[in-house]
Structures are given as structure tokens and as C-alpha cells.
Amino acid sequence: MIRPGALLWIGASVIVAIALFLIVYRVKGLEKELTLLNQEAAAHEEAIHVLKAEWSFLNRPDRLAELASRHLGLQPVAAAQLTAGQSLDQPSTPTVPVSSGERLQGMLQRITDGGER
Amino acid sequence: MTDLATRTWKRLLHEPPPLSVDPEQRLSEARARRPIEMARTRLLIAGAVFALCFVVLAGRLLEIGILKEGNARSDGGARLTSDAAPGRVDIVDRNGVLLATNLPTVSLYADQETVLSAEGAADRLLTVLPRYSREDLVERITGKARHALIERNLTPDQAFQINQLGLPGFSFERTERRVYLQGPLFSHVLGYTDVDNHGLSGIEAGLDATLRTTEPESGRPFTVSLDMRVQHALTEELNHSIEEFSAIGGAGVVIDANTGEVLALVSLPSFDPNGRRKSDDDVEFNRVTKGIYELGSTFKAFTVAMALDYGVVDMNDGYDASHPIKIARYTIRDDHPQNRWLNVPEIFMHSSNIGAAKMALDVGGERQREFLERLGLLNAYQLELPEVGAPAVPKPWREINTMTIAFGHGLSITPLHLANGIATLVNGGVLRRPTFVKQPEGATISGDQVISPATSEKMRRLLRLVVTEGTGQKAAAPGYLVGGKTGTAEKAAVGGYQRKSLISTFVGAFPMQNPRYVVLAMIDEPKGNRSSFGFATAGWTAAPVVGRVISRIAPLLGIEPVDEDADPIHRELDVKEVSQGARLASF
């Protein structure tokens, strides 16, 4: 005759065994997924690395110069074309001396007025 | 526990001592009980062992599951680091542009034991690797090694095609290959590596240990002080001039006057470092750091600085330059003779050999030697490159040497020495070591104060004068206040100098009221042409290179152009001892 205690233990061990198997399979599945993801990450990393190298290669100054001369017609900046920001927007004959803060405010005012119109 | 022990133990515990049993019967009873007892004992031992195992397993489970400290390894985790170990970090320029990197490639190997027919395989491989001869391939396949290397660094295309051939016994192996993305642009300064990625020349060799030991996984590349844009501008302008004047080569360098950082270093002709094997080829010679030259009149900057710094002369002192100096069997004469008394700025501006020689004599050979040594011009630099040239210093240092060195003959230095020396003259008198490693932004690099700031200030005016009024007018880059000095030297040959083989140099700094960068251009054996009225001197060949380079790089380097005719600029840079505007100079 089987005692109830033994029955309980057998039942428990069966449950634990099943649970263990399920967990093992799940872990295996997850590990496979992890491996795949890691491989994918490594592949992407390598691809990024190669693309960076290619980007640098394609940005060789002599190549850019050739492309620019073919398509853009740009010229190097001459010193005469450069000027400091503060030398701009100086009214040639300032009628009323105003502080720069006030002037800026006035300018903003004009801009917003213009925008509303 | 042995049987005997167990039995004794049991008997003592459970069995009352048999009192009056027939000995015969007792014996048979014991004999019958023995197997049962043995079985029970074994069961007990086995049980104990299993219990122990389960305790261990349970403990491990707890460790992994609850404490999470067990080094639980999964197949997946190990994968990431196992491959992809480049072993050499990338090199980027000061703005982060990738200059050198490792790219994955595959190499083809053959396993002799499994290759069916070397000849057959060779025939088919030839369709993909046409640069080999058939015999060559057969020899490689049947070579001594069982695992024979057939070809390194296949292109992805080639690897695919070989795979398509389906040859048994051939396998691919992943390797890393050093690639120089800018091609020949940085050939001399970066150098290159051998097939095993060990540096052979340039920075690759000089900093080999650093480049190899830095963790590549950290993803942090090695940043050099070079600037690709400046390097390109300098290369292009030098090439232009070499072509224009049919020269045999050229060299150029741009250094930061306040940190000693080298922004560009060009030696021409250059070569493509990709896939290069070490050779004694001339093109690999680094003219800037290894080549030593008598750099001619550019040295007068040091002579004048020396005389000013020792207080031997002042700006309005001068010398009679109307008659050539005869010493021993030599005659020192001027290339641009004025035949009159000249003051110091005029001597410098007209590049008077006579004046410079007399000035150096007044300073004295001993002090001249000491001064040049202080400026670091008599010793080889400690650089991050292995290609370092040591100056050729005359021994003994006689009076004639004092006079010739005053105008740049009889002492050979590298162009880098010259550029760094000029940087010291104009930056307030602080000597710093040239470096190829990017220094932290805005950091103050310490150096030795070798000349007084007052002398440095006068040198700025004098160098500027050469460009506004003197021999270096073609180096002008409007708005950027270029100052500098020309130098045309005849190449030394056996028993004297070759009049037709010139080294034309221009070394300049800008912007002169607060110099930031020093630019040097050297043209090796230029020939005069129609555009230069037959002249091959530095004022016609090297000076325009510097002018063009500066007008190209100054906007890139964030130098604000100024109005060169503004009063403050004149106050800061004019030399009052010379009447401005009067064209006195010839080229």
C-alpha cells in the first residue's frame, strides 16, 4: 500500500522535474537568442567600422576638391570676404545714441511686428 | 565502514547478548544474516554519497540562482570578445578624421593533405588571382608548410569567387589589415606597418608600443596633432610649385607656434603607404625631420635675434656692406648688393651676407654657438617618429664658420629645426619641443624662455618687414599679416657648391602681431622659368607657396583677417628705422 506521504513526494518530484525541463528549454532558447543578438551586434559593429572607414575614404580632400570643382564652382574664401560680426549693423550716422540692449530690443520688436503683419 | 565494524555496531545496539544458544545454531544464523546486512550497509553508503552530491548541487543552484555570483557563462556571452581583436588602435587627426584603421580581410590557406591536385587547383585559382604565375601557385600550394598561406588580404570579391570554385583543401582565415584612408597624403608622417601590423616607419613605428597596447575595445582612437585640411593645402601648393619650377622635390611643415604641435608635415615626392613593404626607396625619405640642409639666408633671423638679444646691436645700428669680405680663400658677397652702409633692419630685409657675417663676428663664435644650442638647433629632436636627423655641426667652430653660419652655410639642420626655431623667435621667446600628439585644447605647454620677449617683439617686426618690403613679398596673404624670411642655398657638393642646384626655402609666421602658426616651404632644385624671369630663388619659388597656403588655411584655422593698413597694425609691426613704402629691395 502506498502511503499518502510517499504519494505527495512522488507528485512533488514529478512537478519539479517537469518545471526543471521547461526551464532548461527556455534557458536554451534564450541563450540561442542571446548568441544571435551578440553575433548581430558584432556584425553591426564591424559594419559601422567599415562604413566609417569608407566615409573617411570618400571624404578625401583631393576627391572633394575634384567633386566641388565639377559640381559646385565654389572658391576659397578670400580674407576680404570675411568680417567680424560686430562690425556689421552699425548705423553709419547714429542719430540717437542707444545702448546695445535697447537696440536689440528694438530690433526684436521690428521683427515680431513684421511677423505679425 | 567495514562489514565487521557494522556488525559489531549493530550487535551492540540492538541485539541482546545471546545467553544460552547453541553455538552451532548461532553460527548458522549469523551466516544467513550476513548478505542482508551487507546490502543494507551498501545502501547506506550509496545514500550518503548521493545526499552529498545533492547538497553540492543545491548549493550551486543557490549560488547561481539567488546570489548570482557564480560565473555562470553562457555560450552567447563569450562570443562577443572571441573574434574581432584588431590589436592596433585607429589614428585620427586633430578634428577626428579617420586616418588609419584596421579593416577585416580574409587570407587564403591550403591544406596539402586534402588538396586533390595542386596543378588543377592552381589552374582554377589563376582565374581569380591573375597576378600569379601557374608555377608560382603550384609551388605555394605544395610548399613546405602543411598549412600553406596562398594569398593575404583578399578582397571580398576574390574571396567570394574562390569560394565559388569549391576547391577542397582550401580555407579562409580572418585577419586584420592596416589601411591608410587618405592614401599618400600622410605617407611620411604616419608611416606604415608590416603585414603583421607592426609599425615600420613614421608615427606607426615611433609610437608602435602605444598604438598596440591601447585597448582597441575602448573605441578611443589615437589623436595626432595633424590637421588633414592643412596637410592637404600644403601638399597641393607644394606640388603645384614643384611642377611649375620642375623641381625634384619639396618639403613643408606647419607648426603651432605656441604649443609645438605639428599640424602638417609634407615631404615630396610621396608614396602610398597601403600594402607597402619596407624598402630603401628614395621616396620614403622624410625631408622634414630627417633631411639636413644648409638652409641659407633663413638663418639670418637667428643671427639678428642673437645680436639683438645679446645687446650687441640695436635696431638703428648697422654695418658697412659696400665691400665683400675676403677671408682665407673665400669671398663673402651679397646676392642683392646695396653697396652702402646698412642698418640692422636693412641687412635683414636685403638679406645682406656681409652685414650678417660682421654682426656674427661682433657677437663672437662662442656666444653664437651657445645661442644656437639654446634654441635647440645643434641637437637632434626627440620626436614621435624614428626618422630624426641630427644637425651637422662644424668642429672646430672657427671664425670662418661663425661668418658662414651667420647666413646659413656650414651648419646643416632639418627643416623642422628651422620652423621650430622661428616659432621660438616669434612666440615671445619660448622654446618648445615639436610634437605629433594632440595637446589638450587651450592648455599652456611649458617651455624654456630662451630669448627675451623684447627681442621676440623686434623679430616680429623684422620678419614682417621682409614680406612688406623685402625679399619675401610673394608670401603675402592679404589680411593675415604674414612675416617670414627667404633662404636660397646652393647645394653642397664635393669641393664646393653647385651654383645651379638650389634649395629654396621660405619660413613664415602669421598673423604677425600675435603669431599662431609657422609655415615652412622648401623646394629642392627649382629651375627658373618665364613666370619667374628665370629666377629660382626662394622669393620666387618657396615664398608664393607659403602665401597661398596661409590664405587657404587661415580661414580654416579660425584666424580673423585684419585690415593690414589699419593704424594699430602699423604701430605694432612697422620698423621705423626703414622708410616705409620706398621699394628698396630686389629679389
Indicate the domain borders of chain B: 3-65, 86-223, 231-274+294-573
Q: Which of B299, B264, B293, B81 is nearest to B185 (CA)?
A: B264
Q: Please tell me the distance from the alpha carbon of residue A49 to that of residue B101, in angstroms, as a whole number.
A: 9
B555 touches chain A (CB under 8 A): yes
Those residues whose C-beta lies under 8 Å from the C-beta of residue B3, and which sit 6 or more positions away, are: B34, B37, B38, B41
Q: How far is B479 from chain A (nearest CA, A)?
A: 6
Residue A1 is which amino acid? M
Segment holding B256, helix H or strand E: strand B249-256
Average pLDDT on A5-30 reads: 93
All cell numbers assigned to B423: 616659432
φ/ψ of B154, rounded to 5, equals -70, 150
Phi-psi region of B330 (alpha: psi -120 to 50; beta: other; left: phi over 0): beta
pLDDT of amino acid B580? 47
Find where cell 661663425 sits: B402
Across chain A, the runs of DSSP E, i.e. the strands, are: none
Torsion of CA A99, A105, A109, A112, to 10 degrees: 140
Cα torsion B117, B120, B126, B129: sign: negative
| CB-CB neighbors (< 8 A) of A78 in chain B | 478-479, 551
In this prediction, residue A15 has a pLDDT band, given cuts at 50, 70 and 90, of very high
Model confidence over B376-396: pLDDT tens digits?
Answer: 999 999 899 988 989 888 888
Number of residues that this document lists for chain A: 117
Residue A61 and residue B228: Cβ atoms within 8 Å?
yes
Asked whether the beta carbons of B419 and B508 are under 8 A apart, the reply is: no
Phi-psi region of B515 (alpha: psi -120 to 50; beta: other; left: phi over 0): beta
What are the start-end ranges of the H helices in B106-149? 118-126, 134-141
Output the tens digit of pLDDT for each of chain B's 587 residues: 556 666 666 666 665 555 566 767 777 777 888 888 899 999 999 999 999 999 999 988 887 777 665 455 544 443 333 344 447 888 999 998 999 988 888 888 888 777 777 788 888 888 888 778 888 878 777 777 777 788 877 877 888 888 888 888 888 888 888 889 988 899 899 988 888 788 888 898 888 888 887 665 566 888 999 999 999 999 999 999 999 898 899 999 999 999 999 999 999 888 888 866 656 567 888 889 998 888 888 999 999 999 999 888 888 888 888 888 888 777 888 877 888 888 888 888 888 889 999 999 889 888 999 999 999 999 999 899 988 989 888 888 888 888 889 888 888 999 999 999 999 999 999 999 999 999 888 778 888 899 999 999 989 999 999 898 888 888 888 889 999 999 888 887 766 677 778 889 999 998 998 899 999 999 998 888 877 787 878 888 999 999 999 999 998 898 888 888 877 778 777 777 665 444 444 33
Is position B297 annotated as part of the catalytic site? Answer: yes
All cell numbers assigned to B80: 562577443
B121 touches chain A (CB under 8 A): no
Residue A35 and residue B104: Cβ atoms within 8 Å?
no
CATH of domain B231-274+294-573: 3.40.710.10
Cα B150 from chain centroid (whole Å): 33
Q: Please tell me the distance from the alpha carbon of residue A16 to that of residue A8, in angstroms, as a whole number.
A: 12
| CB-CB neighbors (< 8 A) of A61 in chain B | 182, 185, 228-229, 232
Report DSSP letters for B165-218, one per residue.
HT-TTEEEEEEEEEEETTGGGGHHHH--B-TTS-B-SHHHHHTHHHHHHS-GGG
pLDDT of amino acid B5? 61
In this prediction, residue A117 has a pLDDT band, given cuts at 50, 70 and 90, of very low
Residue B224 is which amino acid? V
pLDDT of amino acid A91? 57
Residue B405 is which amino acid? I
Q: Does domain B86-223 have CATH number 1.20.140.10?
A: no
Nearest residue of chain A to residue B231 (CA atoms): A61
B98 touches chain A (CB under 8 A): yes
What ipTM score was computed for the predicted complex, to two decimals? 0.70
All cell numbers assigned to B270: 610621396
C-alpha pair distances (Å), B366 with each of B398, B401, B402: 9, 11, 9
C-alpha pair distances (Å), B403 with each of B8, B263, B313, B360, B362: 117, 34, 16, 6, 10
Q: Please tell me the distance from the alpha carbon of residue B70 to that of residue B345, in angstroms, as a whole number.
A: 80
pLDDT of amino acid A81? 77
All cell numbers assigned to B143: 610548399
B97 touches chain A (CB under 8 A): yes
B183 touches chain A (CB under 8 A): yes
Asked whether the beta carbons of B292 and B389 are under 8 A apart, the reply is: yes
